[in-house]
Amino acid sequence: MELEEKQALTWEAFVQGPVVNFFSEYGLEKLTVDDGNGNKAKLAKLKDCGIKIESSSTTTI
pTM for this entry: 0.79
User: Would you kindly state where each structural domain of the chain is located, as residue ranges?
Assistant: 3-56
Q: What is the pLDDT of residue 5?
A: 55
Sign of CA dihedral 8, 52, 55, 42: negative
Compute the half-sphere exposure of residue 49: CA atoms within 13 Å on the CB side of its CA.
1
* Full DSSP string of the chain: --HHHHHH--HHHHIIIIIHHHHHHTT-SEEEEE-SSS-EEEEEE-TTS-EEEEEE-----
pLDDT band at 4 (very low <50, low <70, confident <90, very high): low
**Domain covering 3-56: architecture:** 2-Layer Sandwich (3.30)
Mean pLDDT score of the chain: 88
Please state whether beta strands 40-45 and 51-56 pair in parallel, antiparallel, or not at all (unpaired).
antiparallel
pLDDT tens for 18-42 read 999 999 999 999 999 999 989 999 9
